[in-house]
Chains A and B, each alone.
Chain A
């Protein structure tokens, strides 16, 4: 058997490794997507006061500290049985919308977009944000930087710091919003709506305007029929900060809803001997292996799954974009994974509209932003919709509020099984007997998981950073017969 190794993957936080095993005929026999796990977080937390968690957990990952900050604060609210005042919840959601706006912008322009703007076969040195700007125009780069800056500023105004916010505590937030800050956020939000509309237009022009790309999106190689989950509000519209989890089957029929506290009744985790990371699946359906279909408990938690699992968007422009999305792609649910890039832009527009909606809410500058916890702390679960999937924090404390148990299911983990399936399918489609494995082919395999925007990093930035992508082909004896290095 021949083994191909893609190690590590480019444009991926942390270090993943793809192993592709070929059979004697040179076709793909199996693929393994391995992820190193950072160890000891639970042990590290035990014995600490639960109110430290919003600060501690936002150090887990340099990419989405805001998501951990929010999930931890909500879990700590639950541990103390305290309900934050309405203004506090709105401020948290406003901060979170600013974060989403930055994160989705970065993904589209730096990670997902280059494959389409530059083309899947472009040299790796051009298939990045610099290439995008070179091709589309320098002013785009300015807008992207401006968008990021506004998102950071919203986080700073509410969260106290540009990165690693520190104002959410059990019972609310530590800081009310001043009128001049509110006005600044409203102004940035209005700009953000225009930017999101501009980004959707860009997607229309570059991707939907190119028949080859439309074929690529609609083709079978990047499609999987799995369950979809997403956090929704009381009207079953997408909400990133709060609500219940909607679960729909591969045909689009709703299996049900669960509240954060019910997650253990709905989600189980599968252990495989070849990886440290567990594979979450729907407990009610069961684990049937890495397979599609209604009988398989594999689900996704992505921008695409959120659109599938909801009944629409809670803001008017995003709702229009949502309707167009499903009308162009042939109705709900959509299973073509590359459409996730488009779904992300629909969410970008929602985040921008939500910023303005919350910034113009009369209650947002209320001084009542904290309810003092008075109950004896016990156990609590906090859930938010992180950009890369549902994020669940579960804490158990003693009567003094010192942590006894911590369990986290992070966004990317939800999609681990689905990503593994996507990689296998793409590898089988593109790597066949007699095909010379080129960088372009490797990139098409990578394109299978890039829509999920996987992130396994935890703020480790030790140099030299990622090694270049290396493909190793080994013969049946394990000896290297070919090596491709795309640098």
Chain B
């Protein structure tokens, strides 16, 4: 691919070290919450100036993405990053709008070894596969999950409780970025997000 340094498995070697991914479907009600949180994170990163994600990939900082993918496809988007933060809608007990911040391994789906809703493989299995093939993949994947209410009806609107949780979820993402959690010491270069 012209203009970008590519490794043997296709990853860009000069990327930022962290990627924040919003997962979901923007036209399926509360499933779109991940994308909304990313928009808010981007807004705050831009406002913070030096933290703005260097889209040209200058070697440090934060990249953001909004995706509707899982499994192998999602893994392929994480190649080249040291750390990933995934913002997603979460089903389960608890009131809508509740925010959980957990490592990926904490989700039952990740442990069970099942190939899940991603049509191909669980993200955990895909990451294992990618690492096995020598790809540079995040050592830690954090999940910022927002409990949702409606997922089965087409709409561009979030439920009020879920919409209300967007600023707080964005804040949790920024806290993860600031704390540099999940980054090995060797990769802790100048912190572009200090003071957020």
A44-69 vs B, Cβ < 8 Å mask (1 yes, 0 no) = 10000000000010010011010000
A286 CB-CB contact with B under 8 Å: no
Report the stretch among B42-50, B116-124, B175-183 that lies at the interface: B116-124
A444 to chain B, nearest CB (A): 17
B51 CB-CB contact with A under 8 Å: no
B117 / chain A contacts, CB cutoff of 8 Å: 13-15, 457, 460-461, 465-466
| Complex contact A463–B90 (CB within 8 A) | yes
A125 / chain B contacts, CB cutoff of 8 Å: 113
| Complex contact A149–B108 (CB within 8 A) | no
Measured CA separation A65–B72 after assembly (Å): 16
A65 to chain B, nearest CB (A): 8
Interface SS, B side = loop
A383 / chain B contacts, CB cutoff of 8 Å: none
| Complex contact A40–B10 (CB within 8 A) | no
A38 / chain B contacts, CB cutoff of 8 Å: 28, 152-154
Report the stretch among A138-146, A261-269, A416-424 that lies at the interface: A138-146
B170 CB-CB contact with A under 8 Å: no
B26 / chain A contacts, CB cutoff of 8 Å: 59
B89 / chain A contacts, CB cutoff of 8 Å: 460-463
| Complex contact B88–A40 (CB within 8 A) | no
| Contact partner, B132, options A15, A41, A124, A133, Cβ 8 Å | A133
| Contact partner, A461, options B69, B107, B112, B135, Cβ 8 Å | B69
Closest to A59 in B: B27
| Complex contact A148–B76 (CB within 8 A) | yes
A466 / chain B contacts, CB cutoff of 8 Å: 109, 114, 116-117
B165 CB-CB contact with A under 8 Å: no
A15 / chain B contacts, CB cutoff of 8 Å: 117
| Contact partner, A62, options B25, B76, B107, B125, Cβ 8 Å | B25
| Complex contact B121–A463 (CB within 8 A) | no
| Complex contact B91–A133 (CB within 8 A) | no
A164 CB-CB contact with B under 8 Å: yes
Given known contacts A39-B152, A138-B133, is B112 in contact with A487 (CB within 8 Å)?
Answer: yes
A111 CB-CB contact with B under 8 Å: yes
Given known contacts A130-B125, A459-B28, is B68 in contact with A62 (CB within 8 Å)?
Answer: yes
A469 / chain B contacts, CB cutoff of 8 Å: 114
B185 CB-CB contact with A under 8 Å: no
Given known contacts A129-B125, A145-B76, A459-B28, is B154 in contact with A464 (CB within 8 Å)?
Answer: no
Number of interface residues of B (CB under 8 A): 54
| Complex contact B113–A128 (CB within 8 A) | yes
A24 to chain B, nearest CB (A): 33
B125 / chain A contacts, CB cutoff of 8 Å: 128-130
| Complex contact B72–A148 (CB within 8 A) | yes
| Contact partner, B113, options A148, A455, A487, Cβ 8 Å | A487
Closest to A8 in B: B117
| Contact partner, B88, options A11, A133, A461, Cβ 8 Å | A461
Measured CA separation A487–B114 after assembly (Å): 7
| Complex contact B31–A460 (CB within 8 A) | yes
A208 CB-CB contact with B under 8 Å: no
Report the stretch among B54-62, B143-151, B188-196 that lies at the interface: B143-151
Given known contacts A457-B119, A465-B107, A468-B108, is B154 in contact with A39 (CB within 8 Å)?
Answer: yes
Closest to B145 in A: A463
A329 CB-CB contact with B under 8 Å: no
Number of interface residues of A (CB under 8 A): 53
Measured CA separation A138–B131 after assembly (Å): 11
B115 CB-CB contact with A under 8 Å: yes
A36 CB-CB contact with B under 8 Å: yes
Instruction: Name, among A455, A463, A467, the residue most crowded by chain B CB atoms within 10 Å (CB to CB).
Output: A463
B16 to chain A, nearest CB (A): 18
| Complex contact B129–A149 (CB within 8 A) | no
A434 to chain B, nearest CB (A): 29
B23 / chain A contacts, CB cutoff of 8 Å: 461
| Contact partner, A462, options B114, B115, B148, Cβ 8 Å | B148
B97 to chain A, nearest CB (A): 14
B101 / chain A contacts, CB cutoff of 8 Å: none
Measured CA separation A487–B107 after assembly (Å): 13
| Complex contact A130–B108 (CB within 8 A) | no
B140 CB-CB contact with A under 8 Å: no
B3 CB-CB contact with A under 8 Å: no
Contacts from B to A (Cβ < 8 Å): 1-2, 9-10, 23-28, 31, 67-73, 76, 88-92, 107-109, 111-122, 125, 128-130, 132-133, 135, 143, 145, 148, 151-155
List the 9 closest A-B pairs by CB distance, nearest first.
A125-B113, A465-B116, A487-B112, A459-B25, A44-B154, A465-B109, A459-B68, A466-B116, A462-B89
Provide 13 A-B residue pairs closer than 8 Å at the C-beta atoms, listed in order of the A residue. A11-B115, A39-B153, A40-B155, A128-B121, A148-B72, A459-B68, A461-B70, A461-B89, A463-B143, A467-B108, A468-B112, A469-B114, A487-B108
